[in-house]
Structure 1
Amino acid sequence: MPQPKDLDPYTDPRAFYGAELRRLREAAGLSQGELGSRAFCSGTYIGLFEAGERRPQLELSRTLDGLLGSGEHLQRLCLLARKSKVAGYFADAVELQARSSSIDSYTAMLVPGLLQTASYARALTRAAHPFATAEVVEGHVTTRMERAQLLDSPAAPVLWVMIHEAALLVPVGGRVVMAEQLNHLAEQTDSRPRIVTQVLPFSAGAHPFLHASMLLMQFTDSPAVVYTESAYSGQLVEEPLLVEQYSTAYDLARAAALSPEASLVRIVSAAREFATP
């Protein structure tokens, strides 16, 4: 598990939370493992919060306050540490993506966020938030483009993208926007060796992810995590048996998808169709 380390508690709210959790735990004479067992989680999990490597959870913070006799101290710090530029339900997944060694992604009707163009992201945001101001919409688009910088990092995760063929046909933003988006998807796949893209064709029929999008994130130093998402909500799945079930289902769906080479041909073909008047 992560060893206790000295944090500068004033660098950001998450570091302050981690430093305070460690201070309270040590004052109670508990190891990370002992506190974890009383909070019904692992000592490794406690260590990740103390090291500032995971965003704190409100429900767990409430439990820890009760165990450590700290009133609502950790809960208040948790609220500060959880502030994010993205939707609250997605914020944990965004930070985990940055730490992951590999990401397996499935989307049914959309190009994944990390591979979206600004025009495509703008059209999606306007559709999801029809009454938002232009300033709010552009804020969402800017945040999404900033997230894509993860792929430029020397430590970028291996990104395995599986996208349903339907996503290649829905004219998000119109024909010009879709042609640009699909060409961008093809270019990113072709030029970045750490990105693999597969198209799951209509001919594959029913599969486990018909009703949801999914991210399976794996790490070098902690267990894998799954993030599932619907229109206005998302959920992290950390239960090992459930994560394994998602992983197996993803492998089965991947086996039914087109090969990476055939997938690239299909993406380019769809881009040409949108580009043709």
Structure 2
Amino acid sequence: MVFDNLPPVPFNISVERLTEDSNSQRLQNGTIWSSYTEIIDTEFTYPNSAVAGISFDSEYFNNIPTRNYLIKAKKVKVPSNYDPVKRTYTGFWDGTFKVAWTNNPAWEIYDLAPILSKMLGVEISFDKWALYDVSRYCDQLVPDGMGGQEPRFTCDVWLTEVKTAYDLLNDFCSVFRAIPIWTGTEVSVIIDRPRDPVWTYTNANVVSGFERSYSARKSRHNAVQVTYSDKTNGYESAIEYVSDDEEIKKHGLNLSQITAFGCTSRDKHTVPVNGF
């Protein structure tokens, strides 16, 4: 029932039944007030929200259908000389920023600064020059396992879980095999990547030689199951199995199960686990 042409607020709405409630167990026609909905016929803004309005023909659906949306989400600060679509950098960077959409994990981390500051109650800043170097490494094209190429590291994630600031930062750093460090003035990152050696250590320049230690065999995994969101299948969860068959033959199966944070590529998830 819809009431139009209502008087100015405030006003009362009442419902009166003309017949008595039944006292017979064979007739159940009791009257209750369930709920009401107030409809305000005007346009509203939805700040910090993505709103979708869709109508369906109920003839084809018994219930409200499940909907999935592919979103670009929040725009973040990126270097002023960076084209996030082509993933190219022009000239030297002067340290200034512009706002754009990107799935480069380095600049997603940089965008965490105000969020982490609120979570920790202290001002947090990131080493933008270190992240700039990381971002260029993430954008380098590598084989995608399907005969084409794709950026080395991307992060496509929708945060739905409550986490500590430390865990959240480590999750984003795990995308490109890095760990966060505190330099004394700001947060920087150390990334596991190929580099030229800066010094050679031998018995000739090490006092008393080397001491070697090894991890326990039970801590050495020889197979891993990686869960990731498969972008080729509607971003449904998928599992990929990677193993060292020779080690399994020698020592038996020692399986590790991990979830690749922000990973949507079948090939990318093998990058951090091929050295398990």
Compute the TM-score of the two structures, normalised by the length of structure 1: 0.22
Q: Which has the higher contact order (CA 8 A, sep 6+)?
A: 1
Comparing both structures, which one devotes a greater share of its residues to helix? 1
Query: What is the TM-score of this pair, normalised by structure 2?
Result: 0.22
Compare CA radii of gyration and give the structure with the larger one: 2
